[in-house]
Amino acid sequence: MSSQAVPDIAGFSELRPEPREPGRTLLPPGVGRLDCALEQQVEVERVMDRQLGRTLRGLKVGGRYQRLGFVKWADYVVERVGIELRWAQELERLDRACEKVPELGEALASGELVKSKVLELFRVVDEGTPVDERRRWIERAGGMTVRELRREIAATRTTSAPPVADPEETEPGSWVQIRVPMRVASLWHLAVERVRRLSNSEMPLYRCLEHIVADRFSGIGWPEDVSPPPDPAPTAESPPPPPLRVKHRTMSAPSSDVTADPWELDGAIQTIAELKKKARQRLGELLEAMAAAQGWRPLGFTSLEHYAEERLGLHPRTVRRLIRFHRALAKYPELARGYFAGELSYLKVLVLLRVAGTGTAVWTAWAAKRSYLDTQRAVAYAEPYAHSRTMSALPPAGFGAQPRIVGIHSDEPESLPARIRFWCPADLLPFIRAGLRSCRDPAGGLPPPDWRCLEILLVGFLEQAQDPALEQLIARYPELERDGWRCTVPTCSQRAHLHSHHVEHRGQGGPDTLWNKATLCAPHHIGQEHGTGAIRVSGRAPDQLYWEIGRRPRGGAPLLRFYGGVKIGVKINASVRTIHGLPHRLVRAREPMLDSAAR
């Protein structure tokens, strides 16, 4: 079977020769070495992931991360680790499986089982399972594919443990894209923000549109062929609904038996994340080479995704993202420089790809000094205009400003320069389509385009979505409206249970004026600013606030500092040099970068 030539990749000469087993079909030139390189790279990732998962578990237990100035575990993960929350949860679960069931850890370390099989087996094997039964399961899993093992476990499992979900896996769905005029894009931003304010949460775009459509049907009546979408069924991992009123006793506080220093744990996490930078890029490079050469065919697999899942233990969507990430670094040198310099995390690079183009250098320089949450919000606003032929989007020019939209603005019906794009679950798509159809003329005639139907939906929602209670709160607490109805701590995503905080405390003579008030969520306000002292804010609101996040109880530099939304004194914690289980050559290779960044 013929195959394309394997691209020339640095480091191939260091690999062992291609395997030549008796009776095995001769592989095309380079495919065996490429397969070998991928297995070695996944092994390096496995060692680092085990250490990262163990350290994350140590920081999460007892709420130790709250001493670093974070309220939500997800906020810490995206800001300090630079990965998705679900991926961090999988790393924790993998380390827990190898710790509680040593046989799984040994099988993973020896290469007998890949990561996906270990996670599947942890559904039926735990510390209470007899040793003989554990070994039988491991032996059976070694002779099965991942899909066969998943079906076998589903057929024999008697526990109520939920099925394993890949950290980047989502429910079935598709992307929805609508080209719209500038005025409709502006209405879209206003309507989405209004829904999020009314719900006190950062709802995804498809959920915001669901509320807008439901609001229309509640006014004109539900069509006979459409029923309200059911509420999502609770899962074992779903958090309980928040209480209507938050009291101090409901807030989780760090356990009293905490002995490990959270700042040392954070330093270890930063060192591992620094080591993973090159490893992640290298893995994406090798996967792209395998895709270009179609090397999975002579190895007996049906696709690259099939090869990665069975041979490497990687989920198909993870593979696609790694290839996309590597291509982005190769195409945009600004992103590559920011990523390897420690200014951009893996998540920030993926977010900036949504607006990458002529203004990539400007966006990279701006995002390097902002938190991940601020970067994500700015990109979400600019994305509809980023891929237009007549316009481009640039980052905000000042604190609290929206991204700048430059170019030719036209609201002519034939001019559709902006693009609204969001992912939507498959079971919600018929409901969204029904909402758009309801905006057509009931007398018939030529149906209007989708953007016109969307405009009718948005205008109707904005005209009706007037909450008297919200208007009273705005009149009483104008700082909430000024701060966008969210916690103003740069690393916090909370939009619920908001308090008005006096920057200079009233007990210390602080005035009751607007410049002395900042919006904080209840946990940050009561639990940390007035409680543990993990954060401190000073200055003048809204654009001259100085934040100290992760303040140490015995003094010293805080974990993070911001002034006017801009990071100041950014340093990479290089206090942890030796990581158990990591190849020493990797640690030595990264030390010069760590030293220069620390200086």
Confidence (pLDDT) at 27: 57
Question: Residue 23 CB: number of other CB atoms within 10 A?
Answer: 4
What is the C-alpha to C-alpha distance for residues 374 and 488, in angstroms, rounded to an integer? 10
Domain assignment of residue 524, yes or no: yes
Domain count, the chain: 2
pLDDT band for 222, please (50, 70, 90 cuts): confident
Q: What is the mean pLDDT of residues 326-347?
A: 93
Domain assignment of residue 84, yes or no: yes
Structure tokens at 173: 């769905």
Domain assignment of residue 581, yes or no: no
Confidence (pLDDT) at 12: 42
175 has a pLDDT exceeding 50: yes
Confidence (pLDDT) at 443: 61
Confidence (pLDDT) at 229: 58
pLDDT band for 388, please (50, 70, 90 cuts): confident
Phi-psi region of 485 (alpha: psi -120 to 50; beta: other; left: phi over 0): left
- Contacts of 435 by beta carbon, 8 Å cutoff, 6+ apart: 209, 212, 213, 216, 217, 457
Confidence (pLDDT) at 56: 94
The residue among 293, 309, 344 that closes a domain is: 293
What's the whole-model pTM score? 0.81
Question: In the 8-state DSSP scheme, what is residue 491?
Answer: T
Confidence (pLDDT) at 445: 60
What is 111-129 written as a DSSP string?
Answer: TSS-HHHHHHHTTT--TTS
Q: What is the mean pLDDT of residues 65-72?
A: 94
pLDDT tens, residue by residue, 442-476:
665 667 888 999 999 999 998 887 777 777 878 88
pLDDT tens, residue by residue, 102-144:
999 899 888 888 888 898 888 888 888 898 999 999 998 888 8
- Contact between 590 and 109 (Cβ < 8 Å): no
Domain assignment of residue 241, yes or no: no
> pLDDT over 90 for what percent of the chain?
38
Helix (H) or strand (E) holding 291: helix 262-293
Q: What is the mean pLDDT of residues 567-590?
A: 42
- Contact between 352 and 375 (Cβ < 8 Å): yes
Domain assignment of residue 461, yes or no: no
pLDDT tens, residue by residue, 517-531:
999 999 999 999 988
Domain assignment of residue 23, yes or no: yes
Q: Is the dihedral of CA 531, 535, 539, 542 positive or negative?
A: negative
Structure tokens at 443: 């007398």
Question: Residue 113 CB: number of other CB atoms within 10 A?
Answer: 24
355 has a pLDDT exceeding 50: yes
Which residue reads 């008030």 in tokens?
517
Confidence (pLDDT) at 335: 94
- Among 216-225, 238-247, 261-270, the minimum mean pLDDT is found in 238-247
Higher pLDDT pick, 16 / 213 = 213
540 has a pLDDT exceeding 60: yes
What is 336-392 written as a DSSP string?
Answer: HHHHHTTSS-HHHHHHHGGG-STTHHHHHHHHTTS-HHHHHHHHHHHHHHHT-SSEE
- Contacts of 232 by beta carbon, 8 Å cutoff, 6+ apart: none
C-alpha dihedral, 108 to 114 to 117 to 123, nearest 10°: 40
Domain assignment of residue 446, yes or no: no
- Contact between 330 and 362 (Cβ < 8 Å): no
Confidence (pLDDT) at 146: 87
17 has a pLDDT exceeding 70: no
570 has a pLDDT exceeding 90: no
Average pLDDT of the chain to the nearest whole number = 80
Diameter of the chain measured on Cα atoms = 86
Domain assignment of residue 265, yes or no: yes
Range(s) of the domain holding residue 552: 477-567
pLDDT band for 513, please (50, 70, 90 cuts): very high
